[in-house]
Structure 1
Amino acid sequence: MDQTRSFVAVAEELHFGRAAERLNMTQPPLSRQIQKLEKSVGVQLIERDNRKVALTTAGRAFLADARKLLIAADQAPLTARRIARGRAGVLRIGFTATSALSILGQVLSTAAEHLPQVDIDLREMVTREQLAALNSGGIDLGLARPPIDPDRFESKLVQTESLRLAVPDEHPLTQLDRPVEAADLRETPLIMHSPLKARYFYDLAIRHMPIQHGNVVHTVSQILTMVSLVGAGRGVAFVPESAARLGIAGVTHLELAEQARDVVELHAIWRRNHRNPALTSLLEILGDTPLRSGHRPG
């Protein structure tokens, strides 16, 4: 690196005396530095005689890269310190599709405001995929649904929202002047969550509203698919409140009567033994920053 600094000084001053003074050294060792560099590179970089100093064609090309190299060398310690303090680096965040409708944007805004040097790598995954990726080190942070293994993961509740009933716009249930009750669904075609691929929402639905399984006409795993089927008039569906933000035409979201307020939980989840300083910094910031998505935070 000393040879590179010597070359850049001579190339910019085009005078060995001034370059030596700039580097706080004498001319003989400066000349030796240039000679060693040219020998290492294998070409002549500087033409010099008693009257002038000039760059060769190769020297002019080398100067551009040498300047970049010095800038990178000067920045490297600062970057290392920022990474160690969690102020730079990469954060890989897994998120569910519905979290993108609610809390994800605020997490990203918070990171951009407080950790602008941290690069965010987003991965859309269902909860079980996030947990597997956290285990393998594929992601650093998940925005996912319970249950959470406390022996492997730490977590923070970042959002609660209500469970709602999505119905076609002209459905008779839209004429009720009250929340929807179980008896109202007795003869209603139901689009239900898969008990295997969407277990969390399946359990929520059957816990808060008695389900007539004979009414189930479709079983799906994605909220977007579910609401789209409702919009197509195929039935009604239990969805999180934030699903209204999908803006799918022909769908009305109704309140449920069975204690369904603020029962849908979203957690930030991370490995207990993580070693990413940027994650530590983000978690500290999230701990001090209320996250709001139009719903009452948990």
Structure 2
Amino acid sequence: MFTLDQVRCFVAVAEHLHFGRAAESLLMTQPPLSRQVQKLEKAVGVTLIDRDNRSVALTRAGRQFLKEARQLLALAHRAPEQAQLIASGVEGHVSLGFTIGSGMSQLGPMVSGLAAKLPGVELSMTEMVTGEQIKAISEGQIDLGIGRPPATADPLETMLLEQDDLVLAVPSDHRLMTSGRPVKAEDVDGVPLIMHSPQLARYFYDLVVRYFPIDHSTVVQSLSQMTSMLNLVSAGIGIAFVPSSMRKLHMEGVVYVDVEDLPSGIVELRAIWDPESPNEALHRVLEAIRSGGLEHPLEA
């Protein structure tokens, strides 16, 4: 049987791919670190790390074991905290990741509703984009995400919370505000555009290009954070597509415009979680959301 110390040593080596730097990060010397990793490989029964005098690399088995090892360490870190919370009369703890968009709409009513329904469950919250939420849930760093539908959810599960419109954020003195007629998709042609990053904000990127023939030569910036995009809009750099919930973020010099030929309700907000999570408090939170009364979330 392996120990948590052995797992910590393996994770450090896997993350640094260098025994010397891994030993420094753990405040130990290299020989005992190497022995701990060797003991772990013997206990597991497979080679996890390929190493020679010039390089260190994870084997295929090592890459898979790293995912499980991170979850194991996260659970081990949280176990004393969970026990302390229960001993102090608190029934559990749920760590929540949320996007700025959810902060503008569902988050407040949801948190206050959960506090009323589950007063013994403590919530901690961290703002992060959906991709960061997926990674954090998979590694056991957070329990629940409130974000956009992931491109591939498996093995995670999602639940629809809200459907929102996609609108244009434009400078208040922009020509689209003075045309005297409703804005249409064709009006975006040739206008400098502040676009969503195809790597870090894939959901919104795919949503925009699905409905608009984007000329990428007009894209002046590609960003992942809505607030950063709106700051550039305010400065007159370009226009940007955002969910209509961002209207609640009153930013000087920015006006939100409906697009006439764009379908309504195409922007989804979802709860995201690992159905295999051992955190009972998480499952009580999900049941409270499903049962309604928290700003009436929608069922998927």
Q: Which residue of 1 aligns with 2:183?
A: 180
Q: Which residue of 2 aligns with 1:40?
A: none
Cα deviation for residue 275 of structure 1 reads 1.5
Letter in 2 for 1:163: L
Aligned CA-pair RMSD: 2.5
- The change in CA–CA distance for 1:217 and 1:177 in structure 2 (over 3 A counts) is same
Q: Deviations over 1:254-283 (max 9, x none)?
A: 011333411111110110111212111111
- The change in CA–CA distance for 1:280 and 1:80 in structure 2 (over 3 A counts) is farther
Q: 2:243 aligns with which of 240, 258, 268?
A: 240
Compute the TM-score of the two structures, normalised by the length of structure 1.
Answer: 0.67
Cα deviation for residue 165 of structure 1 reads 0.3
Q: Structure 1 vs Structure 2: percent identity of aligned residues?
A: 43
2: CA distance, partners of 1:291 / 1:175: 40
- What aligned pairs does 1:1-298 form with structure 2 within 5 A after superposition? 79=86, 88-147=91-150, 149-292=152-295
* Contact map agreement 2:290 2:299 (CA 8 A) in 1: no
Letter in 1 for 2:291: D
Letter in 2 for 1:103: Q
- The change in CA–CA distance for 1:297 and 1:284 in structure 2 (over 3 A counts) is closer
* Contact map agreement 1:127 1:145 (CA 8 A) in 2: yes
- The change in CA–CA distance for 1:162 and 1:278 in structure 2 (over 3 A counts) is same
Compute the TM-score of the two structures, normalised by the length of structure 2.
Answer: 0.66
2: CA distance, partners of 1:198 / 1:210: 18
Query: Once structures 1 and 2 are overlaid, which stretch shifts more, 179-188 or 270-279?
Result: 179-188
- The change in CA–CA distance for 1:178 and 1:156 in structure 2 (over 3 A counts) is farther
Q: Which residue of 1 aligns with 2:21?
A: none
* Contact map agreement 1:153 1:272 (CA 8 A) in 2: yes
2: CA distance, partners of 1:113 / 1:162: 29
- The change in CA–CA distance for 1:148 and 1:273 in structure 2 (over 3 A counts) is farther
Q: Deviations over 1:148-199 (max 9, x none)?
A: 5453112110011000000111112113454422321223111111111111
Structure 1: unaligned runs, 5 residues or longer? 1-75
Cα deviation for residue 290 of structure 1 reads 4.7
Structure 2: unaligned runs, 5 residues or longer? 1-82
- The change in CA–CA distance for 1:148 and 1:288 in structure 2 (over 3 A counts) is farther
- The change in CA–CA distance for 1:291 and 1:206 in structure 2 (over 3 A counts) is farther
The 3-state SS of whatever aligns with 2:277 is coil
Q: Quick check: which has more Rg, 1 or 2? A: 1
2: CA distance, partners of 1:247 / 1:297: 30
* Contact map agreement 1:189 1:234 (CA 8 A) in 2: yes
1: CA distance, partners of 2:221 / 2:164: 24
1: CA distance, partners of 2:117 / 2:251: 34
The 3-state SS of whatever aligns with 2:100 is coil
2: CA distance, partners of 1:111 / 1:189: 42
* Contact map agreement 1:157 1:266 (CA 8 A) in 2: yes
Aligned length: 217
